[in-house]
């Protein structure tokens, strides 16, 4: 994870532009209007078209992605942009049946009525699935919440062989741990709300891609639909991104330790963590990810036992979402995910691992 220069380059992305006396970190500019005696050569014209603080974040993300980036006010806004820019009436889109459920709700409620056909395939079945007939293939790996994985290079080859575009939701990994564009994806979408912002106080998302015409369409979608991020959120994300690599290093290492110990605990069933050699996603995870992430899932006996564990475990916030500094646990069945009542999605935070494990062990009973 630390072997490449992208993160260092991201930290110093403003260096070459800095004049004497300039602030090292970007100022927060929330102006909607800009001095415009003529339209020519104006870097900024109107806030819905471009804002200085978004561009600072897009520059950071573009370095991490190795591709141009368009920022959005949430992960779902980025997903909506990617889908509305690639789907049209009569086309078929393949979605993971076990991925982030809001993506399925969006397509069911807003794309299907416009004549888009939706085909659902489980993430673990993507590698063997036939993509014939699809115009857009959307995958999420590891999937949220089940943490199944699919082969991104294979998905890109199969999608392109039938003339489809591949969109990858890279939220659970971030650009530091998985590089879908290098593996052939046409677009990456991600919720920067999670680990990139990292402090549970910003909604943000982005689309990245190397297809110039497609990315121009994504930028046009933002301008015309008005799905624009706020300057303050951009500024907070810029700050969060500066520590992404150190937070991920801690979180992934702790998740590996905790997963290994949970695997030996008699009360834990159906443990999933791609970093465990026994996990069914381990082989593909090892090939295409440069870290195994900070999410793990497991089951306790039932709803009552899972809620009891979550309420008694110190240092674990009972909340939805993931990727923040605080460890967080949630029973996903409460949102209607197709999982067992005692299924918990656990996001490992930056607490020192032995302190966190002691609390978990105590709440589980040794
Ligand atoms: C959270 C999440 C999203 C949506 O992000 P928001 O910022 O909440 O809109 C999309 N995909 C995945 C995999 C997520 O976990």
Q: Quick one: 237 and 249 in the same domain? A: no
Q: Which of 98, 193, 197, 227 to mutate to test the pocket of ligand 1 (most atoms within 8 A of CB)?
A: 193
Cβ–Cβ < 8 Å for 197, 190: no
User: Is there a single domain that holds both residue 194 and residue 90?
Assistant: yes
**For range 109-130, the mean pLDDT:** 98
Domain co-membership, 175 together with 31: yes
H-helix or E-strand containing 70?
Answer: strand 69-72
User: Is 48 among the residues known to form the active site?
Assistant: yes
> And the tokens for 13?
């992305």
Q: List 296's β-bridge partners, or say none.
A: 346
Distance CA(122)–CA(271), nearest Å, equals: 18
Q: What atom of ligand 1 comes closest to residue 171's alpha carbon?
A: 13
State both tokens at 232. Answer: 């303050």
Range of the domain at 300: 245-364
| Res. 366: pLDDT tops 90 | no
What span, in angstroms and rounded, lies between the C-alpha atoms of 203 and 327? 18
pTM value? 0.97
Q: What is the pLDDT of residues 165-223, one digit of tens each?
A: 999 999 999 999 999 999 999 999 999 999 999 999 999 999 999 999 999 999 999 99
Contact predicate 192/170, CB 8 Å: no
CATH of the domain at 147: 3.40.640.10
Instruction: Among 203, 221, 241, give the residue marking a domain's end.
Output: 241
Answer whether residue 2 shows pLDDT above 60: no
The answer to whether 286 is a known catalytic residue is: no
pLDDT in tens, 252-291: 999 999 999 999 999 999 999 999 999 999 999 999 999 9
Q: Residue 218 — φ and ψ, nearest 5°?
A: -65, -40
Q: What number of CA atoms fall less than 13 Å from residue 196's CA on the CB side? A: 35
Q: Which of 100, 179, 186, 331 is catalytic?
A: 100
Number of folded domains in the chain?
2
Question: Who's near 98: CB < 8 A, 6+ residues apart?
Answer: 122, 123, 124, 143, 146, 148, 338
Same domain? 232 vs 257: no
Average pLDDT over the chain, rounded to an integer: 96
The whole-angstrom separation of Cα 136 and Cα 94 is: 6
Report the pLDDT value the prediction gives residue 287, as an integer from 0 to 100.
97
Q: Choose, from 151, 169, 192, 279, the residue flagged as catalytic.
A: 169
What pLDDT is attached to residue 357?
A: 98
Question: 343-347 and 327-331 as β-strands: parallel, antiparallel, unpaired?
Answer: antiparallel
Whether residues 150 and 35 fall in one domain: yes
In the chain, how many H helices and how many E strands? 11, 12
Percent of the chain at pLDDT exceeding 90 = 97
For the segment 312-339, what is each residue's pLDDT rounded down to a tens digit? 999 999 999 999 999 999 999 998 888 9
Asked whether the predicted pLDDT for residue 1 surpasses 60, the reply is no
| pLDDT on residue 4 | 80
Lining residues, ligand 1, CB within 6 Å: 74-76, 79, 100, 140, 144, 169, 171-172, 191, 193-194, 203, 205
Average pLDDT value for residue range 125-153? 97
Rounded to the nearest angstrom, the distance between the alpha carbon of 357 and the centre of ligand 1 is 27
| Average confidence (pLDDT) over 339-364 | 97
pLDDT of the residue at 37: 95
User: Are 236 and 265 in a shared domain?
Assistant: no
Q: Tell me if 82 sits within 8 A of 217, measured CB to CB.
A: no
Do 155 and 271 lie in one domain? The reply is no
């Amino acid at each position: 994870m630390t072997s490449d220069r992208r993160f260092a380059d991201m930290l110093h992305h403003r260096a070459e532009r800095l004049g004497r006396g300039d602030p090292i970190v970007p100022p927060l500019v929330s102006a909607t209007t800009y001095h415009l005696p003529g339209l020519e050569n104006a870097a900024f014209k109107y806030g819905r078209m471009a804002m200085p603080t978004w561009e600072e974040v897009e520059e950071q993300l573009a370095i991490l992605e190795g591709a141009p980036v368009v920022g959005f006010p949430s992960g779902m806004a980025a997903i909506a942009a990617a889908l509305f820019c690639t789907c049209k009436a009569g086309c078929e889109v393949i979605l993971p049946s076990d991925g982030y459920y809001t993506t399925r709700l969006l397509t069911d409620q807003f794309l299907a009525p416009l004549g888009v056909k939706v085909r659902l395939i489980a993430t673990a079945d993507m590698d063997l699935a036939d993509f014939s007939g699809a115009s857009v293939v959307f995958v999420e790996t590891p999937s949220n919440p089940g943490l199944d994985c699919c082969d991104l290079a294979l998905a890109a080859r199969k999608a392109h062989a039938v003339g489809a575009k591949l969109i990858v939701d890279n939220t659970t990994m971030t650009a530091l741990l998985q590089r879908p564009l290098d593996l052939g994806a046409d677009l990456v979408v991600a919720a920067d709300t999670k680990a990139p912002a990292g402090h549970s106080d910003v909604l943000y998302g982005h689309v990245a891609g190397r297809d110039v015409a497609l990315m121009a369409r994504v930028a046009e979608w933002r301008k015309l639909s008005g799905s624009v991020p706020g300057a303050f959120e951009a500024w907070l994300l810029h700050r969060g991104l500066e520590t992404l690599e150190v937070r991920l290093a801690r979180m992934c290492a702790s998740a590996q330790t905790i997963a290994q110990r949970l695997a030996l605990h008699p009360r834990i069933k159906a443990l999933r963590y791609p970093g465990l050699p026994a996990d069914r996603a381990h082989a593909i995870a090892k090939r295409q990810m440069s870290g195994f992430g900070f999410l793990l899932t497991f089951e306790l006996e039932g709803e009552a036992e899972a809620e009891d564990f979550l309420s008694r475990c110190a240092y674990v916030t009972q909340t939805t979402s993931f990727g923040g500094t605080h460890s967080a646990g949630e029973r996903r069945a409460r949102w209607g995910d197709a999982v067992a009542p005692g299924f918990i999605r656990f996001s490992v935070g930056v607490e020192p691992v032995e302190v966190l494990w002691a609390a978990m062990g105590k709440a589980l009973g040794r």
